[in-house]
Amino acid sequence: MRYRFAEFLLDTEQARLSGPEGDIALRRQTLRALGLLLERAPALVSREELLDAVWGRQAISANTVSQTILELRKALGDSATEARLIETRHRVGYRIVPVVERELTLATDPTDTAAVPAADGNARRDSRTRIAGVALILLALVGAGLWWVRGQNDSSRLALAELRERGSVPMAISDDYWSGLLALQDGRLAEALLRLQRANMESPDNLSVRAAYARALVTAGRFREAQAIVEQAGDAVAALPRGDHLRWEALAADAIHDRRTAMNRYQAVFGYQPADVESGFRLFALQQELADANAAAATLSVLQNSAAAPSRLLLARAQLAALQGDPDARRSLAEQAQAAAEPGTARALQATLAICEARFASAELAQADACASGLEKQSSTQAHTRIALRAAALSGAVSREEGRYPEAAKKLQAVADEAKQQGDGIVWRDVELALAMNERMAGDLSAALARLDRVEAALSFADDQPGHAALLGVRGITLAQRGDVDGGRDTLVAAIRESVALDQRQLEAGARNNLALLDARNDRGAESIDGFEKALQLFRALGDRRGEATALSNLAIHAMLAGQAAKARDYNLEALAAFRAINAHSEIARLQFNLGVAERRSGDLQAAIPRIEEALDVFVDRGVPSYAAQAAATLSLIHLDRADAAAAA
């Protein structure tokens, strides 16, 4: 890696610092300290972080860091009183002041690796020649798409390396390593896995490479292989600096689906190194996976005060809104993130995907489909493969929701095939489960169950335990629909058991809700009420307002079937308040329509009218003509009941 700042260039692989006058000689530890400051720029790096990353567990004097910074300033022609390059924050740490640019390095002739301090004019000319060579390499990298710049408007670009304090990667494999990480970042998993596997084979003892390959395997859903790669590191992990040791433990826990431990390790890193924005975002992502909206919100509130890019923070807030079940807030924040991000970047495309998904969640199906189709083309053109796959899958989901099951099957199968070719086991799993749901909704239950059997075998081979828990949920409701109520119930109980073991509370809540629905339809009144109430408690604990409102709606339906009209009304009013809190307009309209019908039956026509009118307005606005016609007809009947012929007309 090369870092450009002001008039200087640091090449970490060749351990060489150069300036306008040629190479600058520095001690190894001083170079490492400079490298860490540049890597984290413009964020602050604490004294403790420098001590741990540069000197590890060695016994050193208390003023070692101060002496090293003094040496750096002297070599760079900087001063503490008028800091142009290195700023000191008293009792906090140090940071690089100028903008830092990063350049990926390509392998060079092994004979051209010695760093010789400049001593005369010829040496300075050689240095200028080397810098010109760097410029040529950079142009080549631009042409190949293998570079990125840390700019003023984005101080928190992804730190690609899984281990951040480990040191340089051997030059012989640096191209595969960095290109693999860039491919992983862009969602090109087939290329990422190929390059990182090759780098790992060439340098099996390098923990940075091993960690990157393991992360790629986890991202691809190949957990069993990731576990083997992690285990093969053996005792070498013990020598890692504290921060990297915690990151390694988090990766190892992630590979065995122990996300609670992984979350705790990233929490420790983030607390120990508060300037480590990447660990903060890893922590936030795990809290999202565990559907812990309250914890995710707390982490995001800390990240809001970091050096993270505005577009990244806005996108994270959009993701949190999705977790909380608020599609309107999600879309608004995603639109802001899209506007703040550089066009064509992964973050801009991710923001667009969030907009498409928010439209889908709001039942704006035509708009969601148009959004997803456009995003698929744009992402495919710019080689952001995973985003393109997700967009295409969303388009298939729209077709399914509109009842166009053959069209949905065709779209989703194409996505599943492409995901498999790309080595993206996670997208493949999700889309295969969506295909099974599509077959179930189309009434082809045998095909759905056969597909689930095939998928289960693949998930078992990959040790994809969360995927298996989700699969059991789909299989349970499919068996019940086929008439095997006992088999469906047993399968949903197994889904709950596996979800609890994996600490997947969102999956658990969904399975409990489905089990309660099944019990309600099969005269298991006590079990269904208990199931709905447990699901309600989980959704509330997770901060999932949409799930909470859905569970309340189901409790209302159960109460209505039991002849408890007053209790049903109370549940519906609670659900209505929860849906209003997240601006879930379609659900609000559905509940208002049901409440209006109930008010009419009870004879309270005056109360029924505004409810039906609100529902009608939403159905018209959302482009749902069948529901709008039903609401309009009901409203006319109410006016006739009131002997208001003019209004009924």
At residue 166 the predicted structure's pLDDT band, cuts being 50, 70 and 90, is low
Integer Cα distance of 254 and 69 in angstroms:
37
Of residues 307 and 131, more confidence is placed in 307
The per-residue pLDDT for 508 is 92
The per-residue pLDDT for 412 is 97
The per-residue pLDDT for 464 is 96
Residue type at 349 in one-letter notation = L
Q: How far is CA 155 from the centre of its chain?
A: 19
Structural contact between residues 547 and 291, judged by C-beta atoms closer than 8 angstroms: no
Average pLDDT rounded to a whole number, residues 466-494? 96
pTM value? 0.68
Instruction: Please state the three-class secondary structure of 332-369 as a single string.
Output: HHHHHHHHHCCCCCHHHHHHHHHHHHHHHHCCCHHHHH
Residue type at 222 in one-letter notation = R
Q: Whole-number mean pLDDT of the chain?
A: 83
Average pLDDT rounded to a whole number, residues 208-224? 94
At residue 108 the predicted structure's pLDDT band, cuts being 50, 70 and 90, is very low
| Rounded-to-10 torsion of CA 168, 173, 178, 181 | -110
Residues 358-377: tens digit of each pLDDT = 888 877 889 999 999 999 99
Tell which residue, 363, 364, 367, 335, has the closest CA to residue 351: 335
Domains of the chain from N-terminus onward = 2-144 (1.10.10.10), 171-296 (1.25.40.10), 464-568 (1.25.40.10), 584-649 (1.25.40)
Please list the residues that pair with 18 across neighbouring strands: 9, 23
Of residues 91 and 244, more confidence is placed in 244
For residue 595, give Cα distances in angstroms to 183, 453, 536, 581, 608. 52, 42, 21, 18, 7
SS3 (DSSP) at 446: helix
The per-residue pLDDT for 136 is 32
Q: Using the predicted structure, report yes or no on whether residue 146 has a pLDDT greater than 50.
A: no
SS3 (DSSP) at 330: helix
| Rounded-to-10 torsion of CA 222, 225, 227, 228 | 180
Q: Using the predicted structure, report yes or no on whether residue 63 has a pLDDT greater than 80.
A: no
Stretch among 11-20, 54-63, 457-466, 508-517 having the lowest mean pLDDT: 54-63
The angle at the Cα of 18, spanning 117 to 160, to the nearest 5 degrees, equals 125
The per-residue pLDDT for 505 is 86
The per-residue pLDDT for 61 is 63
The per-residue pLDDT for 103 is 63
The per-residue pLDDT for 309 is 84
User: Across 57-61, 154-158, 269-273, 429-433, which has the greatest mean pLDDT?
Assistant: 429-433
Average pLDDT rounded to a whole number, residues 179-189? 84
User: Across 6-10, 218-222, 526-530, which has the greatest mean pLDDT?
Assistant: 218-222
Integer Cα distance of 301 and 296 in angstroms:
9
At residue 189 the predicted structure's pLDDT band, cuts being 50, 70 and 90, is confident
Q: Using the predicted structure, report yes or no on whether residue 130 has a pLDDT greater than 50.
A: no
Tokens 């400049």, residue located: 118
Residue 91 neighbours by CB distance under 10 Å: 7
Q: Using the predicted structure, report yes or no on whether residue 645 has a pLDDT greater than 70.
A: no
Q: Using the predicted structure, report yes or no on whether residue 299 has a pLDDT greater than 80.
A: yes
Integer Cα distance of 127 and 121 in angstroms:
10
The per-residue pLDDT for 143 is 32
- The beta-strand segments (E) located in 395-532 are none
At residue 91 the predicted structure's pLDDT band, cuts being 50, 70 and 90, is confident
At residue 584 the predicted structure's pLDDT band, cuts being 50, 70 and 90, is confident
Q: Using the predicted structure, report yes or no on whether residue 420 has a pLDDT greater than 90.
A: yes
- The beta-strand segments (E) located in 222-317 are none
Q: Using the predicted structure, report yes or no on whether residue 144 has a pLDDT greater than 60.
A: no
The per-residue pLDDT for 157 is 31
Average pLDDT rounded to a whole number, residues 103-119? 36
Q: Using the predicted structure, report yes or no on whether residue 55 has a pLDDT greater than 80.
A: no
Tokens 């489909």, residue located: 369
Q: Using the predicted structure, report yes or no on whether residue 345 has a pLDDT greater than 90.
A: no
Average pLDDT rounded to a whole number, residues 421-429? 93
At residue 58 the predicted structure's pLDDT band, cuts being 50, 70 and 90, is low
Of residues 82 and 610, more confidence is placed in 610
At residue 255 the predicted structure's pLDDT band, cuts being 50, 70 and 90, is very high
The per-residue pLDDT for 463 is 95
Q: Using the predicted structure, report yes or no on whether residue 455 has a pLDDT greater than 80.
A: yes
The per-residue pLDDT for 218 is 96
Integer Cα distance of 585 and 616 in angstroms:
11
Average pLDDT rounded to a whole number, residues 202-228? 94
Average pLDDT rounded to a whole number, residues 85-95? 85
Tokens 């008439």, residue located: 483
